[in-house]
Amino acid sequence: MDYAPLTPDTLPARLGGLAALTDRIGPPDRWQVAEVGDGNLNLVFIVSGPLGRIIVKQALPYVRLVGDSWPLPLNRAFFEYNALVRHAARDPGRVPEVFHFDEAQALIVMRFLSPHVILRKSIVLGVEHPALARHIGVFLARSLFRGSALSLSGQGLREDMGLFAANHALADITENLVFSDPYFAAKLNRHTPGLEPFIAPLRADRALRIAAQEAKHCFLCKTETLVHGDLHSGSLMVTGEDTQVIDPEFAIYGPFGFDVGMFMANLLLAFFAQSGHEDAPGARGAYRGYLLGQVTEVWQVFTDTFRALWQTERTGIMYDLRLFEQSGDAAGAEAALIAVLRGIWVDALGFCGVEMHRRILGLAHVEDLEAIADPARRLPCEARALEAGRIIATMRQSLSPGDLTALAKDIDKKVAR
């Protein structure tokens, strides 16, 4: 059958013959279907039956956020499915189980996560998830290390790179929306009225525009590993104890630092949003501390886990053991690791800075800031985040993890409120 988008009315007839669904939730005549997609791109259905619930995600042939004036290939479901399979193998238990994939219908049937909620919504409410940074730090290290030439053969890496290279339409969104549009008056950009005096100097900052293009160059050309490609707090579902990584449709070969930087940026955006959410000045002080603590911890867990994998799983074609440990130079392997981690950190900061900008100046904003209903309270939060992003991107070579959190605290206090 040719591709056709599902609706709650057509879904039972269209998918009711699939054992992947009926075995898990019961017969289609007893299904209830709700379309719950609130993301920028796809349809998402919760299908409930007498035995349970399941998620059906289907790509639309256009960008949902904008409409059919912006066509987008359906094959993003194929890349999402392939990324989910790899993530499940590389960090078991951290992504939802896939029960069925239909390439022609661009749909994935997967586990309904319950009682999970979208991390971003939980952060807006000021809820702490103590294991978040630990789970994501491990996920980043495992998925990125095991998807790279530190783990894979040359053939394995290049074949997989070839497969994901065809996901260029999604990469193109990132290349425009993240790295270029925030820095000029692009058509789809939008911002909080009154922010103009903060935007003009940002766009006039030549060093920043160069830093953003260096980050874009890095994203395009440093095809080091399979990245999730869109690891923001809307791509994570959480409970008090669990974290699930969803929505890897932007997966492509890119730099180690990309997902790391995107995740840190979204924590920092939440940090700068706090004054817009607190009932009295300082009321969210502890939560600010939690968010910055997660930034520090995710990097620490990432480096610890990456180091352990470097020492025990370095079976790929890069940093061959024969050149180091097996030649009696274990210290050389450690020196090489330090340099690799240093490079990842610097790249991550570049991505972090531009992600902070595009979520305030570009097309796709974040609820952390958008949920601050009063523009007079939202504006200073955004101004501080813009300034932090500028310094992070342009000074990425000099900032340590401690500098990053100190800088965030400093800007949160000093920039005009």
Q: Which residues bind ligand SR1 (CB under 6 A)?
A: 40-41, 63, 65, 173-174, 177, 230, 364
Which one of ligand SR1, Mg ion, none is in contact with 364 (Cβ closer than 5 to 8 A by kind)? ligand SR1
297 binds Mg ion (CB under 5 A): no
**Which of 80, 247, 259, 368: binder of Mg ion (CB under 5 A)?**
247
Q: Which stretch binds Mg ion (CB under 5 A): 162-170, 243-251, 301-309, 378-386?
A: 243-251
Q: Which does 173 bind (CB under 5 to 8 A by kind): ligand SR1, Mg ion, none?
A: ligand SR1
Please tell me whether residue 313 adopts helix, strand or coil conformation.
Answer: coil
CB nearer to ligand SR1: give 249 or 412. 249
- Closer residue to Mg ion (CB): 39 or 182: 39
Q: Does 367 bind Mg ion (CB under 5 A)?
A: no
181 to 64, 211, 359: CA distances (angstroms):
19, 14, 11
Q: Are 188 and 369 in contact (CB under 8 A)?
A: no
User: Which residues have a Cβ under 8 Å from the Cβ of 360 and sit 6 or more positions away?
Assistant: 182, 191, 192, 195, 269, 369, 382, 385, 386
Q: How far apart are CA 177 and CA 171, in angstroms?
A: 10
Rounded to a whole number of angstroms, the minimum distance from the CB of residue 32 to ligand SR1 is 28
Give the number of residues written for the chain.
417
Q: Interface residues for Mg ion in 22-61 (CB under 5 A)?
A: 39
Minimum separation from the CB atom of position 355 to ligand SR1 (A): 9
Residues 6 or more apart whose CB falls under 8 angstroms from that of 314 comprise: 150, 151, 321, 333
Q: How far is the CB of 219 from ligand SR1 (least distance, A)?
A: 12
Rounded to the nearest whole angstrom, what is the least distance from the CB of residue 412 to Mg ion in the complex?
A: 28
Cβ 251 to Mg ion shortest distance, Å: 11
In the bound state, the residue with its beta carbon closest to Mg ion is: 247
Please report the DSSP string for 126-164 in residue order.
Answer: T---TTHHHHHHHHHHHHHHHTSTTTS-HHHHHHHHHHH
CA pair distance 16, 20, nearest whole angstrom: 10
Instruction: Kindly tell me which of 39 and 261 has the beta carbon lying closer to Mg ion.
Output: 39
Provide the minimum distance between the beta carbon of 37 and Mg ion in the complex, in angstroms, as a whole number.
10
Measure the N-to-C terminal CA separation of the chain; round to a whole number of Å: 58
CB 264 → ligand SR1: shortest distance, Å? Answer: 15
> Of 35, 39, 34, 37, nearest to 65 (Cα)?
39
Binding at 80: pick from Mg ion, ligand SR1, none (beta carbon under 5-8 Å per type) = none
Interacting residues toward Mg ion by CB under 5 A: 39, 247
